[in-house]
Structure 1
Amino acid sequence: MITVLTCGTFDLFHVGHLRLLKRALALGDRLVVGVSSDRLNFEKKNKHAVYSLNDRIEIIRSIRCVTDVFVEDRMEDKRAYIKEHKADIFVIGDDWAGKFDHLTDLCDVHYLTRTPSVSTTEIVEVIRSTEGK
């Protein structure tokens, strides 16, 4: 049984998120997803998520390809999360390319290409640009 682990904010869930999760599961048999806490999200992006942590967890937990969900509190704890969930593969978007190579002593690390022209930031910008029209 091959366990794949990935982490992210997963705010304003969109097709890019779904494709990443499906591609991650295709590498193994189980998919464990860490959802970034509100504090961690603010530290990473200097902005608050639109959806609450509980809502984001509920969304991710309801995705058919997801086996288990946990709260990711700290970027520096990836090593502990991999050990705790007995992950064989760690997957993350290629916007993080090279940043997690130090984990290769624990598991394989895969950087998946992002879905072109789809991002939460772009979705928020489109919503803001149409406000008041």
Structure 2
Amino acid sequence: MSHVVGYAPGVYDLFHVGHLNVLKQAKARCDFLIAGVVSDEMCAHAKGFEPFVPVAERVEIVRHINVVDDVHVEVVPDKLATWEVLRFDRIFKGDDWRGTPRGDKLERDFATVGVEVVYFPYTVHTSSTQLRRALRQVGGAPALAAEA
């Protein structure tokens, strides 16, 4: 029987039940789960804003989730470069990626190295974006680049 290594990348900012659900579902589909926590700089580059919670704190939170076996800080945008280091068998993403140009590219790229892309339902009722908006309304979070 083969040992399946899974990789669940994300910002994991303002950790909420949607994040927990992704990690639990991912662990159910692999033997060893690595959570990829996107660095502050990578988040700013990819999403146009810095996370509310600094990367060192997000790593500590994710590291202590009982379904996570290891944590990797993502510092490069290319998931294949991350795969070169970690050699995972499955990558887990929210189904908001499915059928998008980003998701299609992810699937094509990982097909070349035999990595399965597994999608999970996106938690619509709770998101970091919604939490960030609520914090901003009470004066506790910076505006999103798209909303500024």
Q: Distance in 2 between matches of 1:130 and 1:81?
A: 37
TM-score normalised over the length of structure 2? 0.82
Percent identity between matched residues is: 35
Extract unaligned runs of 5+ from structure 1: none
- Asked if the contact 1:12–1:120 (Cα under 8 Å) also holds between the matched residues in 2, the reply is yes
Gaps in structure 2 of 5+ consecutive residues: 140-148
CA contact (8 A) 1:2 1:29 kept: yes
After superposition, the C-alpha distances for 1:22-57 in whole angstroms (9 at most, x for unaligned) are: 001111111001111111000111111111110010
CA distance in 2, matches of 1:73, 1:27: 25
Structure 2 partner of 1:44: 46
> How far apart in 2 are the matches of 1:116 and 1:9?
17
- How many Å separate the matches in 2 of 1:72 and 1:95? 20
Matches within 5 A, 1:17-96: 17-76=19-78, 78-96=79-97
- Residue in 2 aligned with 1:105? 112
Contact preservation (8 Å) 2:6, 2:91: yes
Name the CA distance, whole Å, in 1 between partners of 2:129 and 2:8: 20
Matched residue SS, 1:109:
strand
- Distance in 2 (CA, whole Å) between partners of 1:64 and 1:13 is 14
What TM-score does the superposition give when structure 1 sets the normalisation length?
0.91
* Paired letter, 1:92: K
Q: Contact 1:12–1:50 (CA<8 Å) still a contact in 2?
A: yes
Distance 1:20 1:64 in 2: 13
Q: Is the 8 A contact 1:3 1:28 kept in 2?
A: yes
Aligned residues: 131
